[in-house]
Amino acid sequence: MNVLKMTNVKKSFGDLEVLKDISVSVDKGEVVSIIGPSGSGKSTLLRCATLLEQMDSGELWYMGEKAAGNDEEGHTVYPRDLNQFRRCFGLVFQNFNLFPHYTVLKNLTDAPVSVLKRNPAEVKDEAMALLRKMGLEDKADAYPCQLSGGQQQRVSIVRALAMKPEILFFDEPTSALDPELTGEVLKVIKQLAEEKMTMVIVTHEMAFARAVSDRVIFMDGGVIVEQGRPEEVFGDTQQERTKQFLRNYQN
Amino acid sequence: MDFLNLLAQLAAGMGNTLLLFALTLVFSLPLGLLVTFGRMSTWAPFKNLGIKKEKERRLSGAAILADGDESLTQQMTRIERSHWSWLLAHLRRFKPVQFIFKVIIAILRGTPLMLQLLVVFFGPYYIFGVSLSASYRFIAVVLGFSINYAAYFAEIYRSGIESIPVGQREAAQVLGYSKAQTFLKIILPQMVKRVLPPVTNEVITLVKDTSLAFVLVYTEMFTLAKQIAAARTSVMPLFVAGVFYFIFNAVVAVVMERVEKSLSYYS
Ligand SMILES: Nc1ncnc2c1ncn2[C@@H]1O[C@H](COP(=O)(O)OP(=O)(O)O)[C@@H](O)[C@H]1O
Ligand SMILES: [Mg+2]
């Protein structure tokens, strides 16, 4: 069963067509990387998948259930209550978006307690366990502003994990970090991949994408130019646009 | 001796000034939040007006262009349509609640508080012919001040809310927080921290503005000081009044600084 399925997604901002008929699906345990030049619609695709942006046309499915579908004229309609679907996914932002007025621990526990209505003590134990796993247990009572960028991003990954999502989306998780801090974040994502967490990662870290992904999607101009196993896309792509993009990246 | 006597005479006025100050804050700080909600309302009831027809028209419009030359009547109807669609476009964007609150805020900030106090007090009589009891004078003073300050606070709150990165809202939304939870747990606490300095400014202004209550013959301290100064032909009462406002504001500044400090555990 697909954890995520998006079919024939179209999205425009005014006259600018950003997504032109995109279809993707992600299987359980699969790690999919999305690469492509900036402005190609990668973030918009993730924002449509995470319900931050409404599609103009197309369908969205989570765990085999339709979260949004087309009306008879082909315009996407959303149900009134999307919370059931919001529980399926987590999103890690480029600039973390941790809640600055909450401690690290409160950042992790607040949503499970006040949204999922789970037992606070239990949630706290789980959150501490996750922090320990990340080597951040001594930061539980710190505020986000007291952490380095890499630590903040790792906390925001834990915040998403604490909701126990079926699938985790990353939008350029290391782009806001100094080069020496990207490693610690990529290591965490790699670890999650080994644990068979279903993930969709928009990234410019080509070596990382190649190492960690089961599948790589190359997007350009609002379409999926090609997708395949990393060695196919990075190794011997037949697509001129992909070649050109990757060439620019090697320099 | 004479000085103590003067203080005793002014004391009642000081009490009234403090009372007006406190009541105005108690009402205007939360009222300002409601005004902000109105001002930030995005409700657009005509959002989808004629969207369907527009699409059909666009299709037929494309047909005309494809045909090449259009007849005069076709041109005429096309121009008419473009006027109509201009009007439609504006109507679709029209946000009535936001518009009303924009106008209210503009009036409250754009006219003298003194005038507003007079309107609140005499309005009910002149407009509705209602004659009001003597106690309404006090109510009118507090009402006038609260409404006026709510308008200023509302705009301060709004700028505070708008200065919070959208990522905060988006992170909350993705985590499944309801709109109310997002506002109360994520936006409001951060907004409070951000608006403290400009709110302090307004509160200090309010301390001094209380003297305007004299127009409704509310014997706040400055009114009293002026009367005593005239009776004694001495500037001493006015000087004492000045010192009173200064100390009052010094206390306000210290309190607000404390509050700011208590929120400085994060940035
Ligand atoms: N909210 C928006 N309003 C208008 N244009 C937008 C908006 N979001 C994205 N765009 C435009 O859509 C295009 C694709 O953006 P994005 O999905 O962010 O690309 P990427 O993440 O691949 O760099 C860009 O040209 C961008 O300017
Ligand atoms: Mg992007």
Q: Over the stretch B105-163, which tens digit does the pLDDT of each residue have?
A: 999 999 999 999 999 999 888 888 887 787 888 999 999 999 999 999 999 999 999 99
- How far, in Å, CA of B193 to CA of B160, rounded? 9
Of the partner residues A50, A52, A97, the one whose CB lies closest to the CB of residue B168: A97
User: In the predicted model, is pLDDT for residue B82 greater than 80?
Assistant: no
B173: chain A residues, CB-CB within 8 Å: 51-52, 86
Look at A95 and B167 and tell me if their CB atoms are within 8 Å. yes
- Provide the pLDDT for residue A75: 93
Residue contact A97–B265, C-beta within 8 A: no
Which amino acid belongs to residue A178?
Answer: D
Which carries the bigger pLDDT value, residue B86 or residue B208? B208
pLDDT per residue rounded down to tens, chain A (251 residues):
899 999 999 999 999 999 999 999 999 999 999 999 999 999 999 999 999 999 999 999 999 999 999 999 899 999 999 999 999 999 999 999 999 999 999 999 999 999 999 999 999 999 999 999 999 999 999 999 999 999 999 999 999 999 999 999 999 999 999 999 999 999 999 999 999 999 999 999 999 999 999 999 999 999 999 999 999 999 888 889 999 999 888 76
- pLDDT, tens only, B6-54: 888 888 899 999 999 999 999 999 999 999 999 999 999 998 887 666 5
The pLDDT score that the predictor gives to residue B52 is: 64
Residue A76, helix vs strand vs coil: strand
Enter the tokens of residue A70: 């087309």
Beta bridge partners of residue A217, listed in sequence order: A34, A227
The strand pair at A198-202 and A31-35 is best described as parallel
- For residue A222, the ligand 1 atom closest to its alpha carbon is 14
Q: Are B207 and B221 in contact (CB under 8 A)?
A: no
pLDDT of residue B54: 58
Question: Does B62 score more than 80 pLDDT?
Answer: no
Q: How confident is the model at residue B69 (pLDDT cuts 50, 70, 90)?
A: low
Output B17-22 pairs: Cβ under 8 A, ≥24 positions apart: B17/B210, B17/B211, B17/B220, B17/B221, B17/B222, B17/B248, B20/B141, B20/B142, B20/B145, B20/B210, B20/B213, B20/B218, B20/B220, B21/B206, B21/B207, B21/B210, B21/B248
Confidence of residue B1 (pLDDT cuts 50, 70, 90): low
pTM score of the predicted model: 0.90
A chain contacts of residue B176, beta-carbon cutoff 8 Å: 83, 86-87, 111, 115-116, 163
Q: Where are the alpha helices (DSSP H) in B40-135?
A: 51-67, 72-93, 96-110, 113-128
- CA B173 / ligand 1 centre spacing (Å): 20
Determine the Cα–Cα distance for residues B40 and B102; give it in Å rounded to an integer. 9
Contacts of B190 in chain A (CB under 8 A): 100-101
> Is residue B55 scored above 70 in pLDDT?
no
Instruction: Look at B127 and B100; give whichever has higher pLDDT.
Output: B100
Distance CA A166, CA A90 (A): 8
Is residue A13 lining ligand 1, measured as CB closer than 6 Å?
yes
pLDDT for residue A35: 97
Q: What is the pLDDT of residue A93?
A: 98
Res B85: pLDDT: 80
CB A89, CB A63: distance < 8 Å: no
CB contacts < 8 A, A to B, total: 58
B59 pLDDT more than 60: no
Look at ligand 1, atom 18, and give the residue with the nearest C-alpha: A43
Residue A108 burial (C-beta neighbours within 10 Å; 0-12, 13-18, 19+): buried
Specify the pLDDT at position A251: 61
B65 has pLDDT over 60:
no
Amino acid identity, position B225: A
Ligand 1 close to Cβ of residue A203 (< 6 A)? no
Q: Please provide the size of chain A in residues.
A: 251
Interface contact B176-A116, CB threshold 8 A: yes
pLDDT in tens, B233-243: 999 999 999 99
pLDDT of residue B68: 54
pLDDT at B35: 98
pLDDT at A237: 85
Q: Is residue B56 predicted with pLDDT exceeding 60?
A: no
Q: pLDDT tens across B169-212, in order?
A: 999 999 999 999 999 999 999 999 999 999 999 999 999 999 99
What is the crossing angle of helices B236-262 and B2-39, to 10°? 40
Half-sphere exposure of B47 (CA within 13 A, CB side): 5
Helix (H, G, I), strand (E, B) or coil at A81: coil
CA distances from residue B232 to A215, B3, B157, B237, B245 in whole angstroms, order as listed:
92, 12, 46, 9, 21
A11 lines ligand 1 (CB under 6 A): no
